[in-house]
Amino acid sequence: MKKGLIRAVSLGRLVALAAALGIVVSLCSGCGGGGKAPIITGITVSPSNVVNSGTTVTLTATVRDSTKLKQAVWSADGGTMAVDVGLKGTWIAPDVKENTTYTITLVATETTGLSDTQLVRVAVSPATTSTSGARITSLTAQSSVVKPGAEDTFTVTVANSSNLVDVSWSADYGSFVTNRGTTVKWLAPIDVQADQWVTINVVTTDTSGAADTAQLRVLVSGQGYSIITGFQVSGSGIVNQGDAVTVTVQTDDSTTVKSVKWTANGGIMSVDSGVTCRWIAPQGMAQNTVYVITATVTSQQGLVSQGSVSVVVKGTAT
């Protein structure tokens, strides 16, 4: 398992989940001040977003401007939050009897009073018991958490490879590109609406006909996965009435993006498709007003994610 950078986004399907993957949902209160949203720019989870019972998990957050940070407080809906204050939190996974996903929440507040909330999900598995003998020495996955339709690679290592005559793979969901060999590629199911655990099985057979088996689990993150990884806003994010603003959406893999559609709760969207939009700030407000610009990104596989940024338009009375 490897570290994963859990990146802030989004609304839409992710809000229904109240939480990513990479895995984070950013709920920004008053963000847009200074034009830099969100306050929390990322959370790194170590050792992984999929751990066993009793594992100590370290969460490291980054913020847009640490000199303005007033406080950062962590909480969780299960397990033990051993360190719950500061940009580095520590969480201890509880003992579970079945695969269980927990939500860890970070609330960061700046000295200006602006606050930002990000939700990180960590999946906890029971302590594993080996179903194999000594011949299979390891079974690994390239990624322990994948998005729907993603490709993953599994590798099995055996102690006596010279006696190996067959290696076969199976899974309770998804499909293998090929299901023979010590290294195989597997495609996650695409019709996943909520998080779904998939069990991967491998059977090795030697020259004597003796068989050995092993298994691992992969989490397909449905509602918790977002294509969007962030936004880039032109200018300061605080604009005058009638100003033009460009917003560029950033994705985990630009080659998989099929379409991007932009909307806003006010103003004029003069360019409303593509990775970069052009928005014209409205006019006629006496007070500073926050407008939300939303991108809806659809991948080639049909996955849809929404993310939003806020822009403050100055009022005539300020």
Domain range 136-220, its CATH number among 3.20.80.10, 2.60.40.1080, 3.40.50.1100, 3.40.80.10: 2.60.40.1080
Q: Which of 23-27, 141-145, 218-222, 229-233 has the lowest mean pLDDT?
A: 23-27
Q: Tell me the whole-structure pTM to 2 decimals.
A: 0.40
Position of tokens 């993006």?
257
Residues 276-311 have pLDDT tens digits of 999 999 999 888 999 999 999 887 766 778 888 889
Q: Are 178 and 187 in contact (CB under 8 A)?
A: no
Main-chain dihedrals φ then ψ at residue 137, nearest 5 degrees: -95, -25
Q: Is 310 within 8 Å of 28 (Cβ atoms)?
A: yes
Q: Which two tokens stand for residue 199?
A: 């069990």
Mapping DSSP to helix (H, G, I), strand (E, B) and coil, where does residue 223 land?
A: coil
Q: Do domains 4-125 and 136-220 have the same CATH topology?
A: yes
The domain ranges of the chain are 4-125, 136-220, 228-313
Residue 89, pLDDT above cutoff 70:
yes
Secondary element (H or E) of residue 153: strand 151-158
Q: Is the pLDDT of residue 36 over 50?
A: no
Neighbours of 106 (CB within 10 A): 22
C-alpha dihedral over 126, 90, 138, 166, to 10 degrees? 60
User: Which CATH architecture best describes the domain 4-125?
Assistant: Sandwich (2.60)
User: How far is 125 from 95, CA to CA, in rounded Å?
Assistant: 9
Tokens representing residue 190 in the block:
């695409």
Residue 144 pLDDT class (50, 70, 90 cuts): confident
Confidence (pLDDT) at 216:
86
For 193-215, the pLDDT digits (tens) are 777 888 999 998 888 788 888 88
For residues 64 and 36, is the Cβ–Cβ distance under 8 A? yes
Higher per-residue pLDDT: 34 or 70: 70
* CA–CA distance, 304 with 218 (Å, rounded to integer): 22
Spatial separation of the C-alpha atoms in residues 290 and 206, rounded to whole Å:
67
What's residue 76's pLDDT?
A: 95
Residue 244: is its pLDDT beyond 60? Answer: yes
Q: Which CATH class is domain 228-313?
A: mainly beta
Q: What percent of the chain has pLDDT over 70?
A: 83
